[in-house]
Amino acid sequence: MAPISIKRILISESVDPCCKKILQENGIQVTEKQNMSKDDLIAEIKDYDGLVVRSATKVTADVINAAGNLKIIGRAGTGVDNVDVDAATIKGIIVMNTPSGNTISAAELTCTLLMSLSRHVPQAAMSMKAGNWDRKKFMGAEMYGKILGIVGLGRIGKEVASRMQSFGMKTIGYDPITPPEVTATWGVEQMSLEQLWPKCDYITVHTPLMPSTAGLLNDTSFAKCKKGVKVVNCARGGIIDEDALLRALESRQCGGAGLDVFVEEPPKNRALVNHPNVISCPHLGASTKEAQARCGQDIALQIVDMVMGKSLVGAVTRNHSEGLTQGACEVEISVNGCSYRATGSVQGGVPVLLELNHSVFRQPVSLTGNLLFFKAVASPPLLPSVTGFLATAGVEMESFSAPAARSGDQWYCVGLSSLLGDLGALKPLVKAAAQVSV
């Protein structure tokens, strides 16, 4: 890709100091201004080529349209819910995020809420501080032998599964993209949502917020669950219908909820927060020193690589000079000296690949993490052979995307735990291969 000139960047939130340091070391002037109102940001943004945010800054169409020089919006975190990606797309502004920076922190908070729900830890602590000794009031339940349903089996869902399996929980799940044969290697049995709801003792959600996931847990789905099911949401507010959740809590169909995210933040309707069976946090999923350092470093390095023309990592849009059209885009990816034509789009804030060199994927490929693309003739032994090769190389398969066509040479995509050291060893199995970190 061609280098992009970025001379001045505004950081509008508290981002780890390493972000500013890395940018300045690479010749970029950085200004930090926190707690700006929308009008302040609109007045300020016209002087900058780049903007770095976390989740509090709302980069609306009004902000984007006021930015005459803006070329890059970088979110130091996962997802771009607080950025109007469509408005940025129209103006040719690149939007990027750091998809893996807070994985461990979000997974650990999810597990913390699951355990706290099981043993009523926050409520018991508050009771003790009030001078009480209510042993009988806070009778809990073991997690051992219970069934945990994980809706969304990406990076965070996988990490939650691995940690809760160590407690002896059985993990089941649902994901429309990651194949069942892949999640089976993590110890997660996949099934439809209709099959999953009635089996779960606990449910945790780890999906983006998009039309297909909004209100995923609602009155209808709660009615299909076990009575007393406990739910956790450390992903995005709105995946669990808040009104339906309150009704389920009051009827005791839901036995408790751990909520780190809300539709409105901070929530003005306090009914859920104040419910005795709800444990709530003020959106702390990425609030660890390690996650913030990782996200700050990642976004700075991604911007520097883009400025230097080295790579475009974590981007959910590309600028007009690189072939962007509204809604979908066709780009040319150069890997190891070879060019590949790819068609993709942004779905619910998540960049996805739809087609590669005329191979149309059955399900959109989520463009995050380490991806291996290979061309081969479809055959029953293909997937086992590739899986065996990866196991020998010490690399885990995190996802598998197959083409819609079932004959001839087609492109496949495999999500990897880490990039392969040597693609040459894969040649006996496939006709061509390339890998990229997104």
Q: What is the pLDDT of residues 130-178, one digit of tens each?
A: 999 999 999 999 999 999 999 999 889 999 999 999 999 999 999 987 7
pLDDT at 211: 80
Q: Is 236 known to be catalytic? A: yes
Q: Is 320 known to be catalytic? A: no
Closest CA to 15 of 291, 316, 282, 262: 291
Find residue 52's DSSP bridge partners.
11, 74
Q: Is 283 known to be catalytic? A: yes
Fold exhibited by the domain 102-280: Rossmann fold (3.40.50)
In a 13 Å sphere around the CA of 129, the CA atoms on its Cβ side amount to 6
pTM of the model: 0.71
Q: What is the mean pLDDT of the chain?
A: 88
pLDDT at 70 over 70: yes
Q: Residue 39: which pLDDT band, with cuts at 50, 70 and 90?
A: very high
- Give the CATH number of domain 8-101+289-308: 3.40.50.720
pLDDT at 192: 95
Q: Residue 335: which pLDDT band, with cuts at 50, 70 and 90?
A: low
On whether the CB atoms of residues 395 and 426 are closer than 8 A, the answer is no
Q: What is the pLDDT of residues 72-105, one digit of tens each?
A: 999 998 878 889 988 887 888 888 888 778 899 9
Spatial CB neighbours of 131, under 8 Å, sequence gap ≥ 6: none
Burial status of residue 393 (CB atoms within 10 A of its CB: 0-12, 13-18, 19 or more)? middle
pLDDT at 397: 81
Q: What is the pLDDT of residues 380-436, one digit of tens each?
A: 778 778 887 888 888 888 777 888 776 788 898 888 888 888 888 888 888 888 888
Sign of CA dihedral 272, 274, 275, 280: positive
On whether the CB atoms of residues 50 and 303 are closer than 8 A, the answer is yes
Cα distance between residue 321 and residue 70, in whole Å: 14
Same CATH topology for 102-280 and 328-437: the answer is no
Q: Give the homologous superfamily in CATH for domain 328-437.
A: ACT domain (3.30.70.260)
Q: Which of 54, 206, 283, 318 is catalytic?
A: 283
CA 270 to chain centre: 27
Q: Is residue 223 within a helix (H) or strand (E), and if so which, with residue range?
A: helix 219-224
Q: Which of 206, 236, 275, 294 is catalytic?
A: 236
